[in-house]
Amino acid sequence: MTPALPSGGGTPIFQPPGRNSGEAQMLFKKSGGVSWLIVFLGNPGPRYEFTRHNAGFIAVDEIARQLGVSIDRSKFDALTADVTIGGKRALLMKPQTYMNLSGVAVEKAASFYKIPPENVLVLFDDISLEPGKLRIRRKGTHGGHNGIRSIIDYLQSDNFPRVKLGVGAKPNPNYDLADWVLSTFTEAERKSLNEAASHCKEIAELVITGAIEKAMNLYNS
């Protein structure tokens, strides 16, 4: 996929035309607007609601519950909520583009708010971790995850923090991967995932306040 650029030209999404990145950051900080995107990956619709691939959506529902907000504002091809977390304004996002085009929604929001990739926190499912396990990373490759691949393509960068939510490995090597990630959790697995999701608000606060190392030490499996 060819990375999408903002409409009107090839200017990087986080750098306004005619300004270098440092000037853009200074301008943005003075605005007092949204300074972080917290993106939760999944597929829209009841068909996918409790599938493994929707671990990110399950996590954001828990964060929304803790913050007392509803993620119901339709914007940037996503359902969103404007919140304050870690002392910063952040936009919670549930892209409605389906997993493989998650980058479309993220690029639109990042471009609008002039947010650099390093201020985009993404939470998503990972089949290499058991349900209930977490792994926090500063940046990295897509690792075969199509939602992350899309975000990297559209932001033209892999330099964004992410939280991997364990959903369990395929039961055997011959099991089709698509069928596995679109399968539903067992009751025990869902309980483990819910427990992991209960920590995601604190993880987001630590990442946003520059304490990602502490978050990794506390929660990485």
Higher pLDDT, 102 or 2: 102
Q: Is residue 42 part of a domain?
A: yes
- Catalytic option among 53, 142, 145, 199: 53
Q: Is residue 15 part of a domain?
A: no
221 pLDDT tier (thresholds 50, 70, 90) = confident
Residue 78 to residue 97: CA distance in whole angstroms: 7
Does residue 145 carry a pLDDT above 50? yes
Does residue 11 carry a pLDDT above 90? no
Q: Is residue 65 part of a domain?
A: yes
Share of the chain above pLDDT 90, in %: 85
Q: Which of 45, 88, 89, 81 is nearest to 64 (CA)?
A: 81
Lowest mean pLDDT among 4-13, 69-78, 99-108: 4-13
| Mean per-residue pLDDT, 155-179 | 96
Q: Is residue 171 part of a domain?
A: yes
Does residue 135 carry a pLDDT above 60? yes
Instruction: Output the CA torsion 135→139→142→148 (10° steps).
Output: 90
Is 53 an annotated catalytic residue? yes
pTM: 0.84
Exposed / middle / buried, residue 168 (Cβ in 10 Å: 0-12, 13-18, 19+) = buried
3-state secondary structure of 21: helix
pLDDT, the chain, mean: 89
Q: Which of 221, 218, 187, 190 is nearest to 203 (CA)?
A: 218
Supply the CATH number for residue 75's domain.
3.40.50.1470
Q: Is residue 185 part of a domain?
A: yes
Q: Is residue 152 part of a domain?
A: yes
Residue 209 to residue 172: CA distance in whole angstroms: 41
Q: Is residue 1 part of a domain?
A: no
Q: Domains in the chain: how many in total?
A: 1
Lowest mean pLDDT among 23-32, 36-45, 116-125, 159-168: 23-32
Does residue 205 carry a pLDDT above 70? yes
74 pLDDT tier (thresholds 50, 70, 90) = very high
| Mean per-residue pLDDT, 156-175 | 96
Does residue 207 carry a pLDDT above 90? yes
Q: How many CB atoms lie within 10 A of CB 64?
A: 19
Q: Is residue 8 part of a domain?
A: no
Does residue 194 carry a pLDDT above 70? yes
* Structural domain span for residue 66: 21-219
